[in-house]
Amino acid sequence: MKTIAFFDTKSYDRESFQKYSGDELNFRFFENKLNEDTVSMAACCDAVCVFVNDNITRRVIEKLENYGVKIIALRCAGYNNVDLKFARNRIKVVRVPAYSPYAVAEHAMGMILMLNRKLHRAYIRTRDHNFSLDALTGFDLNGKTVGVIGTGKIGQVFAEICKGFGMNIIGYDPYENKDFCGKYVSLESLLSQSDIISLHCPLTHENKYLINDETIAKMKKGAYIINTSRGKLVDTQALITGLKNGQIGAAGLDVYEEETDLFFEDFSDEIIRDDTLSSLISMPNVIVTSHQAFLTKEALSSIAETTVKNLNDFFKTGKSENEIII
């Protein structure tokens, strides 16, 4: 039996993975995130299973290797939180490249609908018995242009949803997808033409702060920005400036560049010391959700199934089709 140290565990993780714990795999569930202070919990384990806010640095990898850990299993698609160059030839890293593109794409559309039709504000009003319609005017999505940055599986599904609303769809991606239902344009053209811009790309060194002062200035005035991918695709200070001066009409954020110590946790009885995040949350034309776009029953089931397959394949053959190779 192989023992897996499972970090950053939530109740829904236990529910999804517990049924796979048995003769072949034994999960040790920890609520702590994996970092240099907690890596010792993985001692005597054969593998670690981690999520988006675990911090797998060079030092963490060194300690895991010393403990005899053979594989890092990411239960997510992104891997920017792992020092892959240092891990190479030391410890295998596998991921879940796709779980439910519908989950994330539908969440992105939900944010658009809520921001446009002011549903979050209307909900609060009616609970206070305020039935005024002042300042709740939205616009028809039909005929508007949506720019999709990143046209992989999630971006492709998101575009199909937008197509159902009768929107004009344009896309930008260095690697074009033949199944994308929109028209490919340059990034500059996408920025200038789009009424709504939705990000669906992984975080790389090349696209860090893709949304910044310069790119925001090129956008159509009043454009919406939706980010369900990675926080550091957006320069938060530039975003706030754009929101304050009206260049950006609204923003829906499921991710935030400094989310690591905040998202997935309950701070409802505490004062948040992140003034930037507090500023965003206070704005009436901004919606922040705590990295929940993936959170559907179907996605959780797929994540667990693929992660367990990655582990079993590795322990049986030394290989996995979802190994990250750089």
Active-site residue list? 230, 259, 291
For the CA atoms of 308, 313, 319, 320, the dihedral, rounded to the nearest 10 degrees, stands at -40
Q: Are 84 and 324 in contact (CB under 8 A)?
A: yes
The set of long-range contacts for 261-267, using a CB threshold of 8 Å and a minimum separation of 24, is 262/290, 263/53, 263/290, 263/291, 264/8, 264/10, 264/53, 264/290, 264/291
End-to-end CA distance of the chain: give it in Å, rounded: 30
At residue 312, φ and ψ (nearest 5 deg) are -65, -40
203: which DSSP letter?
-
Q: Are 7 and 51 in contact (CB under 8 A)?
A: yes
Strand order in the sheet with 71-74: 25-29, 2-6, 47-50, 71-74, 92-94
Q: Considering just the CA atoms, what is the radius of gyration of the chain in Å?
A: 21
- What are the structure tokens assigned to 49, written together? 């299973």
Q: Are 322 and 75 in contact (CB under 8 A)?
A: no
Distance CA 197, CA 149 (A): 7
